[in-house]
Amino acid sequence: MAEQDHFRIEIRNSPDRVVLCLHGELDLASAPLLQQEIESAGADAGMIVLDLKELQFIDSTGLRIVLAANERSQERGQEFALTRGSQQVQRLLRITGVGEHLRIIASPDEILV
């Protein structure tokens, strides 16, 4: 588990995916922690899932990390998906149009086809 004052990441590995459960606030201060965890935990996974259900806040820096993770996953030939987050998180994804470019799933264990 990676942790900072107002942000925490729980990592769950399974045979076909790595799930990063994000808790708290993803912002300028915590974004490098997520970037580091995605690089190390997701390097060999077939799929990376960011579970946002416990994420209360995300700013533009956090959003950039999520988009970069999606791009990096595509370069590696991995699947990439998000679960829904708080109202603020969903609103930012909707307003920026980012939600239209990312796969959003109901549960981190959902089977993707």
Which of 60, 48, 49 has its CA nearest to residue 89? 60
What is the rounded distance in angstroms from the CA atom of residue 54 to the CA atom of residue 40? 22
In this predicted structure, the answer to whether residue 71 has a pLDDT above a threshold of 80 is yes
Predicted local distance difference test score (pLDDT) of residue 79: 93
* Paired tokens of 57: 């806040």
**Across 13-17, 41-45, 48-52, 56-60, least confident range:** 41-45
Percent of the chain with pLDDT over 90: 77
pTM for this entry: 0.91
Predicted local distance difference test score (pLDDT) of residue 11: 94
**Across 38-47, 48-57, 63-72, least confident range:** 38-47
Pick 2-105's CATH classification: 3.40.50.1110, 3.40.190.80, 3.30.750.24, 3.30.365.10.
Answer: 3.30.750.24
Positive or negative, the CA dihedral 96, 101, 102, 103 is positive
Predicted local distance difference test score (pLDDT) of residue 41: 81
